[in-house]
Amino acid sequence: MKTPVLLFAFVILCGTVQADPYLRVLDPDRSWDTRQGTIEQAFVSVRPLGIYMEIGLYLTFSSRGSGLSQSKQLEVELMFDLPEGSMVTDSWLWVGDEIMRAYILDQWTAAGIYEGIVNRRRDPSILFKRGPTRYELRVYPMLGSETRQVKITYLVPAAYAGSAATVPLPVNLLDASKYPVPELKIIAWPAEFSGKPGILESQISAPFVPDNDPDFGRYYRLRLDRSALDATSTVTVSVPQPFHDGVQLSVLDNAGAGYYQLVVRPSQLLGQTQSRRVAVLVDHDRSNSSLSRQAVMNEVRSALQTYLTDDDFFNIIVSQIDIRSYSDSWVPADSASIETAFATVGPPAEYSSLPSLLGSGIHFVQANGSAGTLMLVSASDQFQDHETANDLIADLSLGSSSGALQIVDYQDIGVDQIRIGGIWYRGNGYLYTNLAKLTGGQYESLSGGGTNFPSLLRSAIVSSGESLTAVDVYTDLASGFTYGRHTSASGLSIHSTDKAITQMGKFVGLPPWEVTFSGIHRGAPFSISVPLSDDVVVHADSVIETAWVGRQIEALESGTRTNDVINEIVGLSTSYRILSEFTAFLALEPSDTTQACASCRDETQLTEIESEDLPTADSLLSIYPNPFSTTTTIEIVVPREIEAGTATLSIYDVMGRAIRRFDIRSGVGTAQKLTWDGTASDSRRVAAGVYFIVLRTGKDTRTARVVRL
């Protein structure tokens, strides 16, 4: 087995370059003749889960307009990227009306099975991870006149805008479709103590509408039509989160041991009320970017309107034959003022004037009290040589009075890689890296992969507050300790007070909890301790463990890939159902050994029934309390016309395994109450997490989700 392991490692390492998504359909017998496929329907579900959000992506494919034979059995190939840090945790394939949940296998075994099945003209799908952010999905067969439906589930790290957790939806993937996707349907599930979701982009005014379903429970829904999707290149869902004194703690506790996730808002803990001041410098070079100069300005304007508040201030300065600044002083960042500024100053020139632009920006900050942040948005590549870059840095005379420099490099055409001092840089990367370090800012590049231009703008604006150094976050219990911590802020780097700090780890011990946040702010050291009583701690499900293991896999993948490391990655990946660069999700058609998934609930059904047609409560199945810690009551009603012995009630875990079955009476037509004490059929107590109660009455099936704490 060693040879295929090393072979696949080589293939994966050669295929990690960021690229646009694409969707192809082809006849496997003529694999060289590929045509662009179409996404007929797209649906996204969003579920907040601590410092992550779970995204369910439903897609329906067709070969419409491809010119391929309508009677041929075709293969679908989709290549796409997910945000950096994402973890794919599930893959479904519809075979007729049945949902087939994928197995997770080592990649070489899965690939061999898939190819063998394709040769036999059967029903599989396979999902690979081709790099840190790159994925490949293949589905077979699809008749030229038919469609195929899939679901991909993944966890994505949440970003924070104030007290709200935000996550980008994969709308760029829809651009791979030959014909425009007519609409995007979105479902958002409420979490414990979370608020009503919204959309950050100002171009989308439609609100989420609350709704209720007897099987699925409470949720929020939103439909974005084609005009809404055309108005913005990104769709970001925002969900208000509960914070206690600037801290949010989620815990999965299993008898004094488990996992935790933590979010710290430095600005709230420090009592910071100072407004942000952001001067945006825009420098374009049309030969270096796929974005037009007007598209760049539109995205910058939208980002300022989205992420700045009326209490903040801004200015816009652009490269033209003469550097043009909208104002000589700070301007209030209300939406109307931002619109006026962009309409007045106009777009940048098609060529770069980077040195003059930087000099003008530094002069602006110094002339206005030296309080503010510079945000450079540039596609220039004129300073790749380290000697030229060092000369420019010296001429700029950077100092504490020039403000932090947040840099967004959106060059995505003709990006050269230059090795300086043993380190590889892209384009102006050497210059930008050093400018950011010298001023306490950050540098992010579009050519670096794993993100998009609007996301880079968001990150730069969010990081535009005051700076912290020597940051440390320590999480402790009254009796016990934490370990295996992953923290987003390093004590060796500079961190913005406006940017939330996240941490996940493991623990042994008993509450109460206490979080200690320390560092250096405004030149003075600080240390703040926040005690957390049990009533402000969020009780999480088993996904919190999955996320921690996913971070371990990510760390292993980024290191030296020996055979032992690869085997460890495969073991963790298959045990916890987290896709890695050495495993694959493989879904097969129903057979004697492969059953359809009984606990897989199709959320797209929620958009097929209008709200007013839904009953306000479930007349057949209800559970209370939910979540529960010791026991919960399952109340069911079996209609009188159901024959005796045909009604069943079973409990499934998230893997689809039946763990408990109850005997129920049929044909009584009245409520029956059953008590579940959280044990399986072998009397052992099940782990904390999500379970599914499935009631089958012969003519109907009802499913309810229950959480054991």
Distance CA 73, CA 576 (A): 34
In a domain, 613, yes or no: no
Does residue 358 contact residue 376 with C-beta atoms inside 8 Å?
yes
In a domain, 249, yes or no: no
In a domain, 698, yes or no: yes
In a domain, 472, yes or no: no
Residue 615's pLDDT is 32
Strands (E), 173-312: 183-188, 198-199, 209-213, 217-225, 236-240, 247-253, 257-264, 277-283
Distance CA 128, CA 110 (A): 10
Strand partners, 59: 42, 150
305 and 221, same structural domain?
no
Structure-block tokens of residue 464: 């535009």
User: How do strand 209-213 and strand 689-696 relate by DSSP bridges?
Assistant: unpaired
In a domain, 470, yes or no: no
Strands (E), 542-608: 583-587
Name the nearest CA neighbour of 345 among 280, 407, 286, 290: 280
Query: Where residue 11 sits, what CATH number does that domain have?
Result: 2.60.40
Residue 2's pLDDT is 39
In a domain, 67, yes or no: yes
224 and 96, same structural domain?
yes
How many structural domains is the chain composed of?
Answer: 4
Rg of the chain over CA atoms, in angstroms? 27
522 and 571, same structural domain?
no
What backbone torsions phi and psi does residue 184 show, to the nearest 5 degrees?
Answer: -120, 125
- For residue 677, the SS3 value is coil
Which residue ranges of the chain lie beneath pLDDT 70? Answer: 1-19, 118, 120-123, 192-193, 202, 272-274, 399-403, 448-451, 491-492, 592-593, 607-620, 639-646, 654-656, 665-671, 697-701
181 and 61, same structural domain?
yes
In a domain, 107, yes or no: yes
In a domain, 14, yes or no: yes
Print the domain residue range for 183: 2-241+550-587
Distance CA 494, CA 365 (A): 20
- For 531, residues 6+ apart whose C-beta sits below 8 A from its C-beta are 512, 513, 514
Query: Where residue 622 sits, what CATH number does that domain have?
Result: 2.60.40.1930
Does residue 300 contact residue 483 with C-beta atoms inside 8 Å?
no
Query: Where residue 298 sits, what CATH number does that domain have?
Result: 3.40.50.410
Does residue 395 contact residue 354 with C-beta atoms inside 8 Å?
no
| Orientation of helix 2-13 relative to helix 107-119, angle to 10° | 90
148 and 67, same structural domain?
yes
207 and 118, same structural domain?
yes
518 and 570, same structural domain?
no
641 and 567, same structural domain?
no
308 and 197, same structural domain?
no
- Answer whether the bond into residue 141 is a cis peptide, omega within 30°: yes
Domain final position from 444, 462, 480: 462
Eight-class DSSP state of 274: P
75 and 6, same structural domain?
yes
Distance CA 676, CA 318 (A): 65
144 and 12, same structural domain?
yes
662 and 576, same structural domain?
no
Domain final position from 462, 495, 519: 462
Distance CA 543, CA 521 (A): 35
